Structure 1
């Protein structure tokens, strides 16, 4: 079963239908029958699809990482792959937030709109979010983040879908299997057969539920938010979308064109099904099984590369989220009448890059990270309440950019590895 063109078409049709119908229903959102349809049709269908995908995320990540480590074979080669992957991800994230800061400083989305700070959404966000426990997950020092990569309880890590800990444990299992050698052949076969079963489930979910699920998720998002929410924050919305578009085309496009030496349109066409699922779910983690299968089947990325690079990217590579944070920080500073210094902007870049490590790939987590960034540069995090109305719409777009970056890096590393192998094959004959 392959992620093919027909499925891509169905997902795109579902997305377009969801946007159109959701936008129409948003105009009548106060009507009881519209709320009933939104809750018991759109949201129900969308959440069932999301739950089906989340159901397989942990086994997909664990099994894929183990097989990926086994496929790489040499622990030294695995270490080299890990270092290159991490370097690529941190570099693109730093570029993303720097680009966002520049665009926001040039277009000035917050100029002349200081009255937005007096809106009831600001105080509501302060009371409901900032006075609760939502920020605790990311309010930790860098050393704590590193320590927390190693799980104290593997079962708990899997139960809570702690991706970094699951990846760490899977890497150890894979290395252990390599070290044991022939004695573990039966265990390898079990992992391979389990992978076949899980991937069949993933593709079955995609085949039968993806289009209708994407429709439901997007329809409920636009019914609740709609384009009307964009009017007051039009320039902020444009700045985020513009930065996402530039990053996608020029950063990822350049990586595919010059580092992987592949056509960027070929890449986009092949990866489009996963981008559609990411747009509808707003979750890198939920899209992971689909994005891995799409990269392997449509883009020719080897399982040993894809199984390691993409799960790691879904956890630490948040370029789209970093772009939102950069634009939002400048936007809120302009609303407040604060001119960010060069030091403060460097602080934003560093904190956003570091905070992206270990951040869960779930809807809305970017706002929790943004609160930490704003606090670090002396801005009131309650101002996040201003952008809540349109964040769901932007979250869909930036998630699509996040997982596209993961796939782009996996293609680059795959092609570089293939070229090294080709050169190694020719050396003895020279």
Structure 2
């Protein structure tokens, strides 16, 4: 080993993000307690230095979110090209994935509405930062409608011109088009469509590369965003942040230890104790890496060797699930959006929360299975519902731990889906023999 590099250990990105979080938080709290947020030079720094620096980071995320979501959704659905070969297994996987993601988001939204971890902040201070957010990055994406009529809502899901919808940053119509586009690729198999799918996969890879470059700026952006938030909100920030972590982890625990065991026992025909004992290696790897993609090889091995699932079913469900079944991420996105809405005093109607739920479910399909892959989607949803996107800095400092928790939920959910689908296929095969 080169002696010049032996003693030089690079700090991982999540470590740098934590450092940025602590630096910004400490500096902001000192300013709030010692100097006061109304001091002219503090106002100048937040308006001309730390504020714009955080907004640049958010704008970079916004710039990439549409092509990233489009390509990820198309690729995620197109990878179900085995639907023709697997038939019922593919359709069942898709239906159960949507169902389990919807349950996860509903649990998260219910927890936030019941415990309201974002309440208690001075409304005047919240409104001040809310106004700043509306003048900044939140203006990039139009807000969700205040009153959502069922007929109009579903009508607006179908774009009359997808390019116009994309230009106006109407996310849901674009996501619906991406889903239909992916289905079209599944149903149309030819050399030309295979090349087209490869092109879209290339677009996804380019977007992921750019996202990874942007995320490297996160430590600086977090420090700036946290300085602004802490200088304005003071100790209220820490109390709200602790409440947020408690609600998020509680919602994930309910999904992991209540919903999953029920699904495994009733739909998968397996003892929950045996299931969790068999997959504990995959859970440990997913928790430590915070990446569904990195956990995939271990998940495949435990599915085939420990759970005894058919290889064809396990590989299909788990490979697609690494991208398309991110129900832990969907839960986290819903909790985060509602928490920040409460923090900034933005009351979301039931219609708006329904929109948030739909975007979280679809966003779970289009979220990359890598650490911090949900950040672009969360920033986009925040701006959709009129919450200052810079509020995302509030949760980035604790995001690594929550990312590890939700990735474990994602990977466990993939194995739950594989177990349920495998049982259904075995019963179908036995009925055919009889």
TM-score, length-normalised on structure 1? 0.60
Task: Kindly provide the CA deviation profile for residues 179-225 of structure 1, in whole angstroms up to 9, marking residues without a partner as x.
Answer: xxxxxxxxxxxxxxxxxxxxxxxxxxxxxxxxxxxxxxxxxxxxx9x
Question: Any gaps of 5 or more consecutive residues in structure 1?
Answer: 1-34, 44-60, 70-74, 164-223
| Aligned pair partner of 1:147 in 169, 174, 181 | 181
Q: 1:342 to 1:159 in 2, by over 3 A?
A: closer
Task: Kindly provide the CA deviation profile for residues 17-65 of structure 1, in whole angstroms up to 9, marking residues without a partner as x.
Answer: xxxxxxxxxxxxxxxxxx955639998xxxxxxxxxxxxxxxxx99xx8
Structure 1 distance, partners of 2:14, 2:392, is 27
Measured after TM superposition, the shift of residue 372 of structure 1 is 2.2
Structure 1 distance, partners of 2:294, 2:270, is 27
For 1:348, the equivalent position in structure 2 comes to 356
Residue 306 of structure 2 corresponds to residue 288 of structure 1: no
Measured after TM superposition, the shift of residue 423 of structure 1 is 3.1
* 1:232-381 matches, cutoff 5 A: 233-381=241-389
| Aligned pair partner of 2:115 in 107, 117, 138 | 107
* 1:26-425 matches, cutoff 5 A: 37=9, 39=11, 78-114=86-122, 140-147=174-181, 150=185, 152-153=195-196, 233-425=241-433
Measured after TM superposition, the shift of residue 158 of structure 1 is 6.0
Measured after TM superposition, the shift of residue 241 of structure 1 is 0.5
Measured after TM superposition, the shift of residue 348 of structure 1 is 0.8
Structure 2 distance, partners of 1:145, 1:261, is 31
> What do you get for the CA RMSD once the two structures are aligned?
3.9
Question: Any gaps of 5 or more consecutive residues in structure 2?
Answer: 1-6, 16-74, 142-168, 186-193, 207-222, 224-236
Count of matched residue positions in the alignment of Structure 1 and Structure 2 = 299
Structure 2 distance, partners of 1:334, 1:349, is 16
Measured after TM superposition, the shift of residue 148 of structure 1 is 5.6
For 1:178, the equivalent position in structure 2 comes to none
Measured after TM superposition, the shift of residue 400 of structure 1 is 0.6
For the residue of structure 2 that corresponds to 1:387, the secondary structure is: helix
Measured after TM superposition, the shift of residue 247 of structure 1 is 0.6
For 1:11, the equivalent position in structure 2 comes to none
